[in-house]
Structure 1
Amino acid sequence: MCAASCQLSPMPMLSLDETASCACGAVSLRIKGPVLSMLVCSCLDCRKSTGTGHSAVVLMSTDSVAASGKMKGHTRTAASGAEITRNFCPKCGTPLFAKTARAPLLTLLPVGLFDQPDWFSPRQAIFSRTHLDWDTLDEALPRYDTYRDNGGF
């Protein structure tokens, strides 16, 4: 499973105290706590869910994220083989957050959900084996075919 990724320690000196909402305002999120990881992912599931070449994700402890409003979720098997549930607003379709059986104590938040995500600085690119050449990423960003060598995010 994900012993390493479920036990992530906070990134040095970055804690969020943010609110975010869907495009129509029917769902809002309150995010308060330490950031555990920031990454981009080029797996097919992330590409389909974003409609772009990769997703930009911030990982938080599930207890750092509170949601209000009606949401809908879609569950499928991800490239890791684990089930992932992506939650979205049923009125406007805005992606809100995801949870994976691989790391049940973590919540994956799409960075585009935040109004001013100037704090976002990805530390790794995962599922680079399916990264598209036209989707330009910083060459200095560490890349992994699937997950980091230790199996974590």
Structure 2
Amino acid sequence: MTANPKPEIELTAHCACGAVSLSVGGRIRSMFMCSCEDCQRATGTGHSTVALARPADVTVTGPTASFARPAHSGATLTRWFCPSCGTPLYAQSSRAPDLLMLPVGLFGSSADWFAPNQLIFARSHHAWDALPDGLPQHDTYRDPETPR
């Protein structure tokens, strides 16, 4: 985990059917993993891998659909996806409207810049879900002193 903690990227990714593209051009604000139960359901795995970006740095082309639900924090979490193939595209929390949560797996082999700095919602992490050694873990959201 020695990569740039906030890399600048210029990438375009596509959903599985190719109907939607998502382009990112700018500095990534944070990179982390999340083991909350919502992320587990959304990914079908033990955690999500997330990069935060400013909405101004992200362009989505093509049709999208969304699903909004209340999160345990009381915020509303909205996830956008391709309405044809269901590929997750991004998410946004009402508690951080100035950031988009990008699923790093969307970028495939072009995601070598990703270096998570923490696991949030470790309280629902499963022992079978392997994590990088030494990754700081927080029971819920990150501690205020932890750098993004």
TM-score (norm: length of structure 1): 0.89
Partners of 2:145 and 2:6 in 1: CA distance: 24
Unmatched 5+ residue regions in structure 2? none
Structure 1 equivalent of residue 117 of structure 2: 123
Partners of 1:58 and 1:23 in 2: CA distance: 20
Match of 1:141 among 117, 135, 143: 135
Unmatched 5+ residue regions in structure 1? 1-10
C-alpha offsets along residues 116-153 of structure 1, whole Å, 9 cap, x if unaligned?
Answer: 21111100000001101110102300000111111886
Structure 2 equivalent of residue 5 of structure 1: none
C-alpha RMSD over aligned residues: 1.5
C-alpha offsets along residues 81-106 of structure 1, whole Å, 9 cap, x if unaligned?
Answer: 21110000010000000011010000
1:44 and 1:79 in contact (8 A); partners too: no
Partners of 2:19 and 2:145 in 1: CA distance: 36
Match of 1:14 among 7, 30, 34: 7
Q: Which amino acid aligns with 1:128?
A: A
TM-score (norm: length of structure 2): 0.92
Runs of 4+ in 1 over 2 A off after TM superposition: none
Cα gap change, 1:74 to 1:151, in 2 (>3 Å): farther
Task: Name which of structure 1's ranges 73-82 and 32-41 shifts more when overlaid on structure 2.
Answer: 73-82
Structure 2 equivalent of residue 46 of structure 1: 39
Instruction: Give SS of 1:29's match.
Output: strand
Partners of 1:48 and 1:151 in 2: CA distance: 29
1:1-40 paired onto structure 2 within 5 Å: 12=5, 14-40=7-33
Partners of 2:83 and 2:67 in 1: CA distance: 11
